[in-house]
Structure 1
Amino acid sequence: MGKTISSCLLPALISCFYLQLQIGTASDTLRASKSIKDPEFIISQGGVFRLGFFSFANSTNRYVGILYNQIPVQTVVWVANRNRPLKDSSGILTISDDGKLVVLNGKAEILWSTHVTNLVPNATTAQLLDSGNLVLNNGDNGGSSSLWESFQHPSNVFLQTMKMGVDLKTGRKVHTRSWKGPDDPSDGNFSQGLEPFNIPEGVIWNNNQIYFRTGPWNGHIYIGLIDMNTVYLDGFYVVADDDGKSYYETYKYSNKSMLIYYELDYEGRFVGRNWDAGKGDWINSYQILRTDCDFYGKCGAFGICDRMKRPICSCSKGFKPRNAEEWSRGNWSRGCFIGLPLCSAKEITTMAVEEQGKVMMGF
């Protein structure tokens, strides 16, 4: 992310002009009879995003992706062939004979596909919307009954109007997946999305382990997120269906002129980025995981994390470290256990809960 575009303006304009001649006036749509060949691209109707081939400054690999189109910093929001890059400029993005959107190399080998069925051959279209969503349809229906959408298969970026959620009836989840590195968009270790629990929460996973939890959604905010009332709340909400079997989180800002997106970076940080025209770059506007105490289970069971203390972890009253040697080395993951007779367990547990509540309230 955030790499300066190295290609010159003139070739880009020539490529754009050539592509518009190739596919007609609908420059935001790829039809079954046409292809995009490296370095060609299509542009959403309002010019906000483009879909085409790109490379990173420190790599010769070629990818097909969606990028912001009108800013001078290369900003990638979605990658098709993230795990199977092209090794040269022979790539083609096209609609196959059976109606799938595919990325091919120079040997006509499929490196990526939408893998959808119920398609109408020779009638399938792929349209790039100003929201950044790439939509596959049976014909020109403007996305009203899409067969496949990039918003349902995100990379590492959470864009406005994207619905990050879980369907308990089907088991389907929509969540972002981090990159492996700053110039490597292949699947990383972290993912981010919504987990219903008893009450929906935003969660970051490190592989299959919970890495961060936002706290429950109370109808207005996630109660565990600092500054959500002032920074994160505008246009953000969580939706549940009537029978509580489907949940999703989404956002849409009232200021339409503001360019903003949220990224799950390769180190597991979930960061909001705003475009600053004066600086000519993206700036971080919001970030969770600010301190070590923000990590889920940092101090283990019955441990208390206080970022103002050293060490940051301590045991609740009546508890002691489960492994004293590890605890002294700063490994607090095993937490604490009750160090008094079993008959006092109920009383001590109540004290521990009260103590943790005081820390959360700032007492």
Structure 2
Amino acid sequence: METLEGVELLLQPHGRRILFRPFLLAFCFILLQFHPRLSGDTISAGHFITGNQTITSKGGKFELGYFSLGSPARYYIGIWYTDVKDDNVVWVANRDTPLQNNIAELKISEDGSSLVIQTKSGSLIWSTNSTPTPSSHPAARVAVLQNNGNLALMDGNSSSAAVVWESFDHPTDTFLPDGRVGVNKVTKQYIAITSWKSKDDPSSGLLSQKINPNGSLELPLY
């Protein structure tokens, strides 16, 4: 392959007087607003991301989970910088297949070959469309959000584990510092970035940047 961030609340059910003191009320609000995370930077087989759950890269620079845009809200699973307030999304999984809520699950497929977004009823919303490489030990496969913002499906959680699929091969509109642009001479698949349709719509836009088809290192816009 070529390759180039103080009020008491009184409730009286059935005539009984129940007293909620201020600190208990505050504790309830904290529980409601808690932003849960899965363990560390990894999604392992049998686990998934849904709702407000996220994973964060070990360095704390990137986070993966649901975000929403537009009105009415459309929901996407993506990666964003944790230390940037606006325009911080760097990768979107289901950019062309938005969801109406955040209850679908991002997980590793049962055979371990792909990452998928699937509804609780089993409908497939998005898939990595990895080259079919089912594992003889699918339970060993993990998806790791790496320190450079790359989401990698791997054959294990060691640094030497084989990479089955990675988001750096399928960017959306952003090249990260360790990312790349190129073309696979066997599959003819381009690694390219494509603009968002608008600021509030991450679906594929009109502009794309990729390596010149004639093999030169120019990066024309298409």
Q: Please give the TM-score of this superposition, normalised by the length of structure 2.
A: 0.78
Percent identical residues: 36
Q: 2:35 maps to what in 1?
A: 15
Does 2:74 correspond to 1:61?
yes
1:57 to partner: Cα distance: 5.1
Mapped to 1, the partners of 2:139 and 2:71 lie a distance apart of 39
8 A Cα contact 2:70 2:201, kept in partner: no
Mapped to 1, the partners of 2:164 and 2:96 lie a distance apart of 23
Amino acid at match of 1:91: A
1:43 to partner: Cα distance: 0.2
Mapped to 2, the partners of 1:169 and 1:56 lie a distance apart of 37
Correspondence 1:284-363 to 2 at 5 A: none
Unpaired stretches in structure 2, ≥5 consecutive residues = 1-29
Does 2:129 correspond to 1:115?
yes
Match of 1:32 among 45, 56, 62: 45
Mapped to 2, the partners of 1:13 and 1:152 lie a distance apart of 35
Match of 2:218 among 194, 201, 207: 201
Correspondence 1:1-363 to 2 at 5 A: 14-16=34-36, 19-20=37-38, 23=39, 27-56=40-69, 58-73=71-86, 75-99=88-112, 100-116=114-130, 117-120=132-135, 121-142=138-159, 144-195=161-212, 197=214, 199-205=216-222
Question: 3-state SS of the aligned residue for 1:151?
Answer: helix
Amino acid at match of 2:58: Q
8 A Cα contact 1:48 1:130, kept in partner: yes
1:15 to partner: Cα distance: 2.2
1:107 to partner: Cα distance: 2.7
1:81 to partner: Cα distance: 0.7
Once the two structures are overlaid, the 10-residue window that deviates more, 136-145 or 149-158, is 136-145
Structure ranking higher on relative contact order (CA contacts 8 Å, 6+ apart): 2
- Alignment CA distance shift 1:59-1:66 (3 Å): farther
- Alignment CA distance shift 1:88-1:98 (3 Å): same
State the number of aligned residues. Answer: 189
Q: Please give the TM-score of this superposition, normalised by the length of structure 1.
A: 0.49
Question: 3-state SS of the aligned residue for 1:157?
Answer: coil
8 A Cα contact 1:119 1:138, kept in partner: no
8 A Cα contact 1:137 1:143, kept in partner: no
Mapped to 2, the partners of 1:66 and 1:11 lie a distance apart of 25
Unpaired stretches in structure 1, ≥5 consecutive residues = 1-9, 206-363
Q: Deviations over 1:206-241 (max 9, x none)?
A: xxxxxxxxxxxxxxxxxxxxxxxxxxxxxxxxxxxx
Question: 3-state SS of the aligned residue for 1:204?
Answer: coil
8 A Cα contact 1:32 1:124, kept in partner: yes
Once the two structures are overlaid, the 10-residue window that deviates more, 119-128 or 195-204, is 195-204
Question: 3-state SS of the aligned residue for 2:168?
Answer: helix
Mapped to 2, the partners of 1:46 and 1:12 lie a distance apart of 27
Amino acid at match of 1:102: V
Amino acid at match of 1:96: S
Question: 3-state SS of the aligned residue for 1:118?
Answer: coil
Mapped to 2, the partners of 1:164 and 1:58 lie a distance apart of 34
Moved over 2 A (4+): 10-16, 70-74, 105-108, 141-145, 167-170, 196-200
Mapped to 1, the partners of 2:160 and 2:94 lie a distance apart of 23
- Greater helix proportion: 1
Mapped to 2, the partners of 1:46 and 1:66 lie a distance apart of 14
- Alignment CA distance shift 1:148-1:13 (3 Å): farther
Q: Deviations over 1:276-310 (max 9, x none)?
A: xxxxxxxxxxxxxxxxxxxxxxxxxxxxxxxxxxx
Q: Deviations over 1:133-185 (max 9, x none)?
A: 00001121336521100000010111111010123344221000111121111
8 A Cα contact 1:36 1:93, kept in partner: yes
